[in-house]
Amino acid sequence: MSNSASAELVLEDILAPNLRVVFCGINPGLTSATRGHHFVNRSNRFWKTIYLAGFTNELITSENDRSVLKYGIGLTTAVARPTKRADELARHEFAGIATTLSAKLERYSPRCVAFLGKPAYSTIVRRTLVHWGRQELQFAGCETWVLPNPSGLNRSFRLDELVRAYTELRVALDQNQIAKC
C-alpha cells in the first residue's frame, strides 16, 4: 500500500468526556486502520495487558474496542497516518502533534493521558531522554504517563513487564493519586 493510500485510511478515536485515562498510541497500524478497530494485530498485547493490569474485568477483543468507554478508557493516536511499523513515520509527521493532541485532550478532559512508547511524548516535550511511568510535566493539563508500547514488534518488554507498568498507572488512578485535569 502506498503512502497516499495509507494516508486516506483513518482510524477513529474512541473518546468521551471525563475519562479516567486516554491511551495514546504512536500511530495506527495498517491492519487496524483497514478494519476500523484499535490494536487489531494478533501480536499486539494491548488488550491482554489492560485486562491483566485490572483496567477491565473482561478480555476485550479489538472488534469490541468501543467497549473500553464503559471502563473510563479512551483511545487515540499521536500521528493519524497508519503504517505497518511505527518506525516508518518520518520525523516531520510528529510536527504539530502537540497542538492537535492538546486540543483533543482539552476538549474531553480525561484525568490522565498515557503515551504508549516514548517517541510522541519525547517530541512533544522536546527531550531525547524520557523515563517510563509518571512524568514531571503535564500535557494539556493532564497527568501524563509514558508506558511501554504493547506492540508485538516491541520485544524489549515481556508481557509481565507490560502488565506491571500498566498496573502502576491503574493503581494510581484507583487511589485517586491523579487529579482531574
Separation between Cα atoms, residue 140 and residue 159, nearest integer Å? 30
172 and 132 Cβ atoms separated by less than 8 Å: no
Q: What is the pLDDT of residues 28-81, one digit of tens each?
A: 878 888 898 999 988 899 999 999 999 999 999 999 999 999 999 999 998 877
User: The C-alpha cell of 128 is what?
Assistant: 531525547
Asked if residue 25 belongs to a domain, the reply is yes
What is the pLDDT, as a whole number, of residue 103? 93
Which residue segment(s) compose the domain that 124 sits in? 3-174
Give the span between the Cα atoms of 91 and 109, in whole angstroms. 28
Say if residues 74 and 82 touch (Cβ distance below 8 Å).
no
Q: Is 66 domain-assigned?
A: yes
Tally the domains of the chain.
1
CA–CA gap between residue 67 and residue 82 (Å, rounded) = 22
C-alpha cell at 34: 483497514
The per-residue b/e assignment along 95-114, b for 16 or more CB within 10 angstroms, e otherwise, is eebbeebbebbeebebbbbb
Contact yes or no for 18/69 (Cβ under 8 A): no
Domain assignment of residue 181, yes or no: no
- Look up the CATH number of the domain holding residue 37: 3.40.470.10
- 179 domain-assigned: no
Element (H, E) at 108: helix 97-108
Give the pLDDT score at 96. 77
Residue 132 corresponds to which cell in the numbers above? 517510563
The pLDDT score that the predictor gives to residue 144 is 95
Residue ranges in the chain whose pLDDT is less than 70: 1-7, 82, 86, 90, 177-181
- Confirm whether 59 is domain-assigned: yes
Return the pLDDT at 1. Answer: 47
